[in-house]
Structure 1
Amino acid sequence: MADVKLNTLDRVPEALYTARPEALEDLLGGPTLLHLPGRRPAPLFVSLLLHGNESTGLHALQRVLQSFGASTLPRALSVFIGNVAAARFGLRRLDGQPDYNRIWPGSPVTGCDEAAVLAEVVAQMQSRDVFASIDVHNNTGLNPHYACVNRLETPFLHLATLFARTVVYFTEPAGVQSAAFASLCPAVTVECGKPDSPGSATHAAEFISAALHLAEFPRHPIAAHDLDLYHTVATVKIPDTVTLSFDGEPADVMFVPELDHLNFRDLPAGTALAQVRDGHREPLWIPDADGGNRWRDFLQVRAGRLELTRALMPSMLSRDARVVRQDCLCYFMERLPLP
């Protein structure tokens, strides 16, 4: 891989208004931080394309910029356009690349060019007294639009519910963008469904525009009827030595059809997720703080069926084997009372 350096701009390249994700590497040359002035100087920060196959952030940015035209933005706007090399091929990341949403400051991964680029982004935004941070993502399964936060403070929840009433609180994995910015300002990750799904870019653009128009965050707590709050209790992975299938093909773990239809559904104990081939004692990997496997805290294999042992709600269940291998199968969540 060639050296990766941060490109910084103070104006919008004309071609960016309409560029497709696959054209960005030629247009920008690499990861790029764009600073635009506005009437309020403390900038809104937006990151997009941390994963090269998640295009909604780019389309939303283009809509926002086109809507303001030559008018002055209500607030300064800084935009980080991330993994343009992977975007060229429509991939989450290229083989040999780190995950751009696992190497922000606070990550155990250090020493690579990409981590240095992201540390520089954080330093620049801290020096500019960043107002709020939005990280725009897509996912590969069937999920509603929802927001994620790393802190349960009132400004974070107000920003999150400006996007959706469904909010997920999480503290793992380490090295994500929203956690790196949480010590600087209210920060959220927004999940906008599948790339190019109807309404995803419009919803994200409306959210970015609404955040640009915010003068300050309300101080009153969020009303209970305005928020469905969950917290992540487990990240579910597939061991490298375990084969998997989603279409009935023989494999060590054969997941049920329409697995991703289970996302954001309350699943009772006993719900079957897969059939497991005889002899596989650890079909899943749910890491604990010490690197061990705690999959039996949540599941069991009974008569060849991989079943939940407790009531849970999954999110981001995916049938994309490449994404599952590069990231995870899903997250397990439980409802969380308002703080």
Structure 2
Amino acid sequence: MESTQLTLRILHAVPDALLSAESDQLDDLLGGPTLIHLDGSESEDRLFVSTLLHGNEDTGWLAIRALLTKYAVRKTAYKLPRSLSIFIGNVAAARLRLRRFDGQPDYNRVWPGSKDVDSAESRLMRKVVDEMAQYRLFASVDIHNNTGINPHYVCLTWLDDSFFYLATLFSRTAVYFQQPPGTQAAAFSARCPAVAIECGKPGSPGSVDHALQYLEDCLHLRTFPTHPFPKRDIDLFHTVATVRIDEHTSFGFGSDPCALNFDPALDQLNFRELPPGSVFGSVNGDGQTGLMVTDENGRDVTERYFALHGKQLITRRPLMPAMLTRDTRVIRQDCLCYLMERMTLEGI
């Protein structure tokens, strides 16, 4: 499915049916991507929250639904402690519980700053950014799930004390990234503290409650502290490379007859510091790794990180993977994982 036209729906009230709707019902109820503005009772500085940029990641919607239910005076009237704007993204893919449709741009790769400037999806995100430019923003939060086993953590694109304070309200584990471009967090970072929160797998115990409590904390936080952020309060990692599988390379998990085979428990390596020589998988065939690893500047750095030892695919240097997944469709649509290094805040 490839969109040729997308209309941004803007609402100033919550339709009654949304308070009992599952994510796969939102397309019928909203008719497409929707931005909802709700005025708060105390602060004009507005919290912007986005959810379902990936249609199979429903923790954000379930947390927002619970938040709206809590603060509803009537189903269309809210007594929020801070003004709130909610962007509900790829409801068409959410109908089928898909990250995105094949042939459809990723809703978290087409925000201003992306190389994609011509698609209907990129035009839609520019409209969202232009609409939010009319408001004074306190912070921006983009809510996500993972398809592999990961801890709850937070992503940020700016190294600034207010960003660190916003991040550690959710988790002391934080990832600084510059790639991929075109993310919601990057698009809003120039306007306000902005983060993306990663809430584990959809349906994992505690994920909705954690996201809900974080939104509550953001709504009730009056200002960010003015004193320097205590650097010991954050475990910061830097995404240094993206690992993809060559489109012509077959792959699997276990004993499948593929060119590239990974351990079925591969995603348990997420956020584990791996020494050189760690086994990542095995290869069959022409002696190629089948991987394509690119750094933040898009350069091929595959040989810096991986090598073949016989038929074993091993690491060449210390590294820590994140977002490893066994979901073959997500791997083809996005990547196998990201590689990270620990980052110090000295001098920042």
Q: TM-score per shorter chain, which class? A: over 0.9
Query: Which residue pairs with 1:20 in the alignment?
Result: 22
String of CA shifts for 1:191-212, please: whole Å, max 9, x gaps.
0000011110100010011001
Query: Matched residues in 1 for 2:333 and 2:227: separation?
Result: 40
TM-score for both structures, normalised by structure 2: 0.95
Which residue of structure 1 aligns with residue 7 of structure 2? 5
Instruction: Give ranges in structure 2 of 5+ residues lacking alignment.
Output: none
Aligned to 1:131, the other structure's residue is in SS state: strand
Change (3 A) 1:12 1:141: same
What displacement does 1:149 show?
Answer: 0.4
Q: Secondary structure at the match of 1:207?
A: helix
Cα distance in structure 2, aligned partners of 1:152 and 1:263: 23
Tell me the amino acid that sits aligned with residue 25 of structure 1. Answer: D
Alignment of 1:223-238 (within 5 A): 223-238=230-245
Cα deviations across residues 213-255 of structure 1 (Å, max 9, x unaligned)? 1111112233233211100010111110111101321111100
Match of 1:29 among 31, 52, 55: 31
More off after superposition, 92-101 vs 48-57: 92-101
Q: What is the deviation of 1:152?
A: 0.8
Deviations 1:257-282 (CA, angstroms, capped at 9, x unpaired): 30001011111110001001131424
- Aligned equivalents of 1:82 and 1:198: distance in 2? 24
Aligned mates of 1:254, 1:76 — CA distance in 2:
49
Bigger shift: residues 64-73 or 48-57: 64-73
**Of 312, 318, 324, the match for 2:325:** 318
Give the TM-score of the pair, scaled to structure 1: 0.97
Cross-structure match for 2:100: 93
Q: Deviations over 1:150-193 (max 9, x none)?
A: 00100001000000010000011000000000000000000000
What does residue 53 of structure 2 align with?
50
Report % sequence identity.
50
- 1:257 and 1:142 mapped to 2: Cα distance? 12
SS in 1 for 2:293: coil
Conserved in 2, the CA contact under 8 Å of 1:247 and 1:257?
Answer: yes
Amino acid corresponding to residue 247 of structure 1 in structure 2 = G
Match of 1:244 among 243, 248, 251: 251
1:61-94 Cα offsets, whole Å, 9 max, x none, are: 0111112121521110000000000000000001
Distance 2:228 2:149 in 1: 31
* Matched positions, count: 339
Give runs of aligned pairs for residues 19-168 of structure 1, distance below 5 A. 19-38=21-40, 39-70=42-73, 72-168=79-175
Q: Please, which runs of 5 or more residues in structure 1 have no aligned partner?
A: none
Residues 152, 200 of structure 2: 8 Å contact kept: yes
When structure 1 is superposed on structure 2, of 104-113 and 284-293 the one drifting more is 284-293
- Establish whether residue 270 from structure 1 lines up as the match of residue 277 from structure 2: yes
Decide whether aligned partners of structure 1 residues 288 and 160 sit closer, same or farther in structure 2, where only a CA change above 3 A counts.
Answer: closer
What is the distance in 2 between the residues matched to 1:48 and 1:248? 37
2:108–2:182 contact (8 Å) kept in structure 1: yes
**Distance in structure 1 (CA, Å) of the matches to 2:207 and 2:186:** 24
| Aligned-pair CA distance for 1:47 | 0.3
Letter in 2 for 1:18: S
SS of 1:218's equivalent in the other structure is coil
Distance 1:145 1:257 in 2: 22
2:312 to 305, 313, 325: 305
